[in-house]
Amino acid sequence: MTTTASTTAPVADARALGLAHYAARGVLERVLARHGSTFQQQIVLRAAITADAPQAPDDLVAQVQGSLKADPADIRATLDELLSKQLLVADGARLRPTDAGRELLAALGAETAPVSARIWGGIPAEDLTAAGRVLALVTERANAELAALTA
């Protein structure tokens, strides 16, 4: 008796999403560790660098909390770490990235770009578009559920 592998595509669900997230995050965290950085530090630093203008600490915390759903106290601790590493600097009541912070983020981007290309490369554009729509809807619904749970 001969058996063949199924050609049915797996159905996206919470487990598949989680496995993909943690696999990709595992790759990123290896790169971050080589630079003495953490996932949360990279997220906070990116938010500061991509902002149109220097942000107040509370605004930066709120922005990152909205993305990561992390405890604001943990995000504030991350801000303190970035300040102590001189990747962010206080500019009056606002925080701005330093040249060292910008250089770190650029180095991380340069190191992860070829890995990202290998991970994402070759996936048909229509599949990425469909996945993007599904992920946006899942994010919207999960954010609504989280808001209802915390209300």
Residue 41: CATH number of its domain? 1.10.10.10
Rg of the chain taking only CA atoms, in angstroms:
19
Q: Which domain holds residue 47?
A: 31-109
- Which pLDDT tens digit goes with each residue over 51-68? 999 999 999 999 999 999
Q: Which sign does the torsion angle of CA 31, 27, 49, 92 carry?
A: negative
Residue 67 lies in a domain: yes
**Which tokens hold the place of 101?**
């912070």
Give the span between the Cα atoms of 140 and 134, in whole angstroms.
10
What pLDDT score was predicted for residue 5? 53
Are 75 and 44 spatial neighbours (Cβ–Cβ below 8 Å)?
yes
pLDDT bin (cut points 50, 70, 90) of residue 114 is very high
* Terminal C-alpha separation, the chain: 58
Q: Residue 45 and residue 60: Cα distance in Å, rounded?
A: 10
Q: How many domains does the chain have?
A: 1
In a domain, 65, yes or no: yes
Mean pLDDT value across the chain: 93
**Is 85 among the domain residues?**
yes
Whether 143 is in a domain gets the answer: no
Residue 60 domain-assigned (yes or no): yes
DSSP annotation string for 103-151: HHHHHHHHHHHHHHHHHHTT--HHHHHHHHHHHHHHHHHHHHHHHHHH-
Any domain includes 149: no
User: Do the domain assignments include residue 121?
Assistant: no
Question: CA-CA distances (angstroms) from residue 46 to 2, 78, 127, 134?
Answer: 53, 13, 27, 25
131 lies in a domain?
no
Contacts of residue 83, defined as CB under 8 A and 6 or more positions apart, other chains included, come to 89, 90, 95
pLDDT-derived band at 95 (thresholds 50, 70, 90) equals very high
pLDDT in tens, 20-42: 999 999 999 999 999 999 999 99
55 bridge partner residues = 95
